[in-house]
């Protein structure tokens, strides 16, 4: 692969104008398609095949008027007054709401008796024919507009329900701060603003192509809003990092005196090979999310993998072309830090001092990292998963205000009503059977009330609403769902947003261990092929598991226990979004292998050239640690920038990725791994001969390029 990418780098260098124009044309074409054929992103938290989803599909077929989204309208009278005093204006506004397009029906609070005990709060419900994702633009704004007379009459009015989501619409300007921090890190790394700007600009071009492409796809398929958000976050991070590795190699070779053309091609063949390998691992892990068989998670995995593929293509094609435009302007000046580093004068640097500290007592360093990450992982045993609801929305939003008012006035269960469907076939008198079922369900422990049953047009099915005592995120609600189905028997099933959320969380929890085993097995196989060693893949995999465990522990501490919750901007503590752990494992796996390849490949090269194993670890670390540390800091800053402005879905994912990269890069890859390699010495690079003969040679280190590979005369240079 190294020789192939070498030739690709040489070709793109020579045809740099053509390559640049081609990428700009792709960006313009993708933008034009997004503008003309793109569509909105829509949530679809469905889980085909689950009992709750099948029941909901039956409800949509038999009770079409009850299958769409619903908006809760909360009326609050001023202190010392009752909503009954404004009954006329409430009924007038609700009557106007009933005439709006797509409205299936309106439930009056005075008829339904959903008025609080003190008479100050009334809860109305507006049902729609369609799900929230299918509501026409302006539908909710029209509802709020017709309710305005109630506000003018002195009532406080808030809106919630499934028609409103928990997203934070306050903006995401903090992402720019992440890019600014990335630029600062690049300037410090290279000591040149021009060099620092190259990875940033090429990464933004790649992200532009990806996001425009996803917008176009959204016009044809259902993509959740989290899909482009994850693709944007990951695309920026890996786009900058992959470009950084190639540009850093190029600068190092220029500092050694290599001609620009040869250096661009060789950097693509060596660092580019590692980039392609690292990108492949991320893509495989993300595409692996399809095995969970949850549509929105599949969409997220494929969208994020598309961002990584584009980032790799940009790195191995556009970067060599841009290096050609920059020419000798990127060559470090004589006597600069880069020239001294290329000459091997790195003992006095931070990397040199750190690796000497770590390897002086390698057993102590190893045990210290394992102990620290093990302690951090302890809270992960209490990890609870669930889907977000309006209780996770920003405190100032109308849906969060409505959620809190309903919970205080009527109980938390009113924010997560359960929909019960009963098959009355063979029951004789359907009405009597339905009433009897309602009485039995209303007597279940943890149930506040069971509504009046509705019969389907053919009389076969009965549907009723059950209000639990506890809210949608409460563990006790799960027990209520199970008890309702047990009392009702095999002909009764529970569905609705809360029940489907429980099913999704259960399926994801069940998939977590098998997915982890697949990821671990893949890590062992890929690293075995890459480094032809047993210790290296075992060490890398153990470190990855420690990083994941410690990261999940940090998530529990912040998002469930509430430590530093205000600093992170957590609106409400409770269960974490159910697909966060599996997304974390998929993404962090690829990034961990990325840093593993760039650090250990240089150590392996030093050892292969006949060096002492301890010296190989030290020299290899000094040669690559600065670039890997810069790449990790960029990743952390990009992920962290999505935390303050992220909604309840994206925030824990961004937080987990930022913490995961921090722990994995600095504690595992830059401390644990060199300590273990120094501890095992020659054994670190041992592989049985029979296995060595069987395994193919991937050459992720670019060893094939140690000599001339073309008619150009290559200046000898150490290969990272």
Instruction: Work out the angle at residue 313's Cα, subtended by the Cα atoms of residues 308 and 314, and round it to the nearest 5 degrees.
Output: 95
Domain 70-160 adopts which CATH fold?
Answer: Alpha-Beta Plaits (3.30.70)
Phi then psi for 448, rounded to 5 degrees? -80, -45
Beta 454-455 vs 156-160: how paired, if at all?
Answer: unpaired
What count of Cα atoms within 13 Å lies in the side-chain half-sphere of residue 138?
4
**pLDDT band, very low/low/confident/very high, at 285 (cuts 50, 70, 90):** confident
Q: How does the average pLDDT of the chain come out, rounded?
A: 87
Per-residue pLDDT at 101? 92
223-249, pLDDT tens digit by residue? Answer: 888 889 889 989 998 999 999 999 988
CB 268, CB 246: distance < 8 Å: yes
Tokens of 641: 């920038």
Q: What pLDDT score does 720 carry?
A: 35
Question: Is 468 in a helix, a strand, or coil?
Answer: strand
| Residue 76, φ and ψ in degrees, nearest 5 | -125, 125
The answer to whether residues 423 and 460 touch, using CB atoms and an 8 Å cutoff, is yes
Q: Which residues contact 503 (CB under 8 A, 6 or more apart)?
A: 47, 50, 51, 52, 53
Q: Is 104 exposed, middle or buried (0-12, 13-18, 19+ CB in 10 A)?
A: middle
Q: Among residues of the chain, what percentage have pLDDT more than 90? A: 46
Give me the pLDDT at residue 171, please. Answer: 45
| Average pLDDT over every residue of 94-118 | 92
Q: Which of 128-132, 340-344, 412-416, 542-546 has the lowest mean pLDDT?
A: 340-344
CATH H-level superfamily of 402-502: RRM (RNA recognition motif) domain (3.30.70.330)
Q: Tell me what pLDDT residue 496 has.
A: 84
All residues at 6 or more sequence positions from 517 whose CB lies less than 8 Å from its CB, including other chains: none
Q: How many CA atoms, within 13 angstroms, populate the side-chain half-sphere of residue 338?
A: 24
SS3 for 215? helix
| Residue 702 pLDDT exceeds 80 | no
Do 402-502 and 70-160 have the same topology in CATH?
yes
Query: What's the farthest any 2 CA atoms get from each other in the chain?
Result: 95
Sorted by where each begins, the domain ranges of the chain are: 1-62+192-336, 70-160, 402-502
In sequence order, the β-bridge partners of residue 156 are 76
Give CATH superfamily name and number for 1-62+192-336: Multidrug efflux transporter AcrB transmembrane domain (1.20.1640.10)
Whether residue 89 is predicted with pLDDT greater than 50 in this model: the reply is: yes
Encode pLDDT of 601-646 as tens digits: 888 878 877 778 888 899 889 888 888 999 999 999 989 988 887 6
Q: Model confidence over 136-178: pLDDT tens digits?
A: 888 999 999 999 999 999 999 999 998 887 654 444 556 677 7
Backbone phi, then psi, for 107, in 5-degree steps?
-105, 115
Write the pLDDT tens digit of every residue in 531-587: 888 999 999 889 999 999 999 999 999 999 999 888 888 878 888 888 899 999 988
pLDDT above 50 for 513: yes
* Structure token pair of residue 615: 């010296």
Is the pLDDT reported for residue 517 higher than 90?
A: no
């Amino acid at each position: 692969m190294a020789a192939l990418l070498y030739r690709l780098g040489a070709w793109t260098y020579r045809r740099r104008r053509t390559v640049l124009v081609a990428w700009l044309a792709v960006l313009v074409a993708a933008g034009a398609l997004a503008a003309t054929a793109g569509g909105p992103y829509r949530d679809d938290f469905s889980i085909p095949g689950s009992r709750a989803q099948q029941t909901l599909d039956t409800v949509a077929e038999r009770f079409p008027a009850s299958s769409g989204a619903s908006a809760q309208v909360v009326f609050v009278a001023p202190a010392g007054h009752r909503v009954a005093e404004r009954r006329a204006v409430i009924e007038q506004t609700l009557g106007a709401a009933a005439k709006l397009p797509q409205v299936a029906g309106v439930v009056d609070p005075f008829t339904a008796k959903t008025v609080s005990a003190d008479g100050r709060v009334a809860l109305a419900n507006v049902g729609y024919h369609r799900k929230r994702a299918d509501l026409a633009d302006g539908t909710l704004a029209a509802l709020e507009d017709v309710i305005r007379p109630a506000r003018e009459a002195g009532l406080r009015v808030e809106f919630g329900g499934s028609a409103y989501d928990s997203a934070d619409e306050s903006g995401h300007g903090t992402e720019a701060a992440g890019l600014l921090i990335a630029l600062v890190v690049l300037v410090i790394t290279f000591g040149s603003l021009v060099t620092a700007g190259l990875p940033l600009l090429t990464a933004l071009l790649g992200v532009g192509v990806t996001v425009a492409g996803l917008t176009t796809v959204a016009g044809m398929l259902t993509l959740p809003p989290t899909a482009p958000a994850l693709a944007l976050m990951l695309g920026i991070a890996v786009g900058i990092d992959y470009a950084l590795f190639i540009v850093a190699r190029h600068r190092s070779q220029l500092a050694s005196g290599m001609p620009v053309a040869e250096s661009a091609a060789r950097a693509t063949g060596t660092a580019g090979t590692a980039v392609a390998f690292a990108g492949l691992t991320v893509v495989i892990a993300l595409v692996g999310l399809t095995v969970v068989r949850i549509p929105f998670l599949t969409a997220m995995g494929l969208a994020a993998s598309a961002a990584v593929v584009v980032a790799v293509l940009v790195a191995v094609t556009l970067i060599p072309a841009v290096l050609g435009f920059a020419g000798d302007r990127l060559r470090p000046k004589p006597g600069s830090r880069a020239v001294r580093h290329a000459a091997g004068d790195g003992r006095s640097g931070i990397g040199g001092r750190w690796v000497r500290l770590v390897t002086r007592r390698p057993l102590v360093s190893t045990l210290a990292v394992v102990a620290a990450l093990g302690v951090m992982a302890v809270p992960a045993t209490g990890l609870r998963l669930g889907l977000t609801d309006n209780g996770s929305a920003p405190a100032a939003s109308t849906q969060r205000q409505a959620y809190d008012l309903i919970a205080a006035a009527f109980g938390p269960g009113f924010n997560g009503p359960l929909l019960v469907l009963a098959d009355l076939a063979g029951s004789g008198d359907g009405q009597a059977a339905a009433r009897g079922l309602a009485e039995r369900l209303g007597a279940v422990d943890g149930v506040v009330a069971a509504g009046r049953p509705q019969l389907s047009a053919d009389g076969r099915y009965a549907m009723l609403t059950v209000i639990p005592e506890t809210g949608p995120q409460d563990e006790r609600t799960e027990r209520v769902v199970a008890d309702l189905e047990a009392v009702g028997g095999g002909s009764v099933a529970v569905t609705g947003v809360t029940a489907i959320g429980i099913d999704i969380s259960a399926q994801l929890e069940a998939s977590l261990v098998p997915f982890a085993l697949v990821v671990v097995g893949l890590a062992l196989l890929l690293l075995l092929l890459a480094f032809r060693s047993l210790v290296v893949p075992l060490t890398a995999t153990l470190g990855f598991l420690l990083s994941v465990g410690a990261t999940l522990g940090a998530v529990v501490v912040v998002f469930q226990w509430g430590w530093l919750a205000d600093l992170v901007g957590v609106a409400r503590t409770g269960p974490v979004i159910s697909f966060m752990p599996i997304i974390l494992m998929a993404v962090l796996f690829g990034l961990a292998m990325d840093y593993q390849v760039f650090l250990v490949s240089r150590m392996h090269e030093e050892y292969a050239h006949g060096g002492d194993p301890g010296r190989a670890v030290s020299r290899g670390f000094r040669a690559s640690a600065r670039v890997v540390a810069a790449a990790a800091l960029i990743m952390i800053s990009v992920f962290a920038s999505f935390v303050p402005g992220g909604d309840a879905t994206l925030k824990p994912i961004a937080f987990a990725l930022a913490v995961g990269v921090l722990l994995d890069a600095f504690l595992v890859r830059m401390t644990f791994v060199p300590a273990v390699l120094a501890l095992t010495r020659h054994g670190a690079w041992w592989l049985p001969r029979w296995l060595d003969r069987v395994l193919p040679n991937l050459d992720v280190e670019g060893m094939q390029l140690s000599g001339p590979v073309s008619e150009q005369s290559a200046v000898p240079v150490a290969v990272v």
